[in-house]
Structure formats: C-alpha cells, structure tokens
Amino acid sequence: MENKKIVFFDGVCNFCNSTVDFIWNNNKKRNLYYASLQSDFSKDKLLNSGIKDFDLKTIYFIDGKKVFEKSHAVFIILKSLDGVYPILGKIGLLLPRYISDFFYDIIAKNRYKIMGKQETCRIPNKEEEEYFLG
C-alpha cells in the first residue's frame, strides 16, 4: 500500500467522476489507484502524508512518496497516462503554478454547476474494484 500511486477525488462530484473515468480509460498500465475524499481511507492517508486540512475542491495525487495537489496533481497524473498525455503533463508542469492553479480553482469552484453531483460516492464496477481504495 505504501508505494501505490493514488488519485484522491470528490466521490459525489460528476465532473470529478468523469475525470476518474478519463484517467481509467487512458491508463492501460493499471498502475494508478483511486480513493474518494469522503472515505476514511483518504482522510487517514492524507493526514499521514502531511495534508492537515484537505479540501473536497482539490484533487490530490500521491506518487508513492510525495503528495501533489490541484493543477500540479493533474499534470503529474497526465504523465502516468498513455498516448500523448505524458507530453501534455510535462508541458503543463512548465506553467507557473499560480497561473495553472488559478484556472484549476475556477473549475473546482464551479464543478457542481458544470456537471452536478450525486447523492452518494461512486461505486466501482467489477473491473475497477481492486483499484478503488477505501
């Protein structure tokens, strides 16, 4: 469990769940795991990784050692995907963080308005089950 690459996301957010679907569909290596921010697993893992006040508007990514958040997490996740996405992730990492996080925050603030939300957290299907933690 210690060295797993884990994407932490808002489990009731339709935009966030669509993002997880995108990541899943473009990660044929199946080297990424997922956890809803609403889960006890996420709370414990993020707290133990130094994130004291985690926010449901923030995507977090642990690469096995280090925690990334917001746009930085998105770009690091892109580097783990197939096809052209690693190149896009590397390009994104060249942007000043305050600029990329500015745009990230606009989307995060409006994520429920953009695609709505569910009453309960995402339930993984049989194929995804072993990759969803907590």
Q: What is the pTM of this model?
A: 0.93
Are the CB atoms for 36 and 42 separated by under 8 Å?
A: yes
Predicted confidence band of residue 74 (pLDDT cuts 50, 70, 90)? very high
Indicate the helix (H) or strand (E) that contains 9: strand 5-9
Separation CA 123–CA 101 (nearest Å): 29
- The overall average pLDDT reported for the chain is 94
Separation CA 10–CA 133 (nearest Å): 13
pLDDT tens figures, 16-56: 999 999 999 999 999 999 999 999 999 999 999 999 888 89
Among 35, 78, 80, which residue's Cα sits nearest to residue 60? 35
pLDDT at position 2 is 67
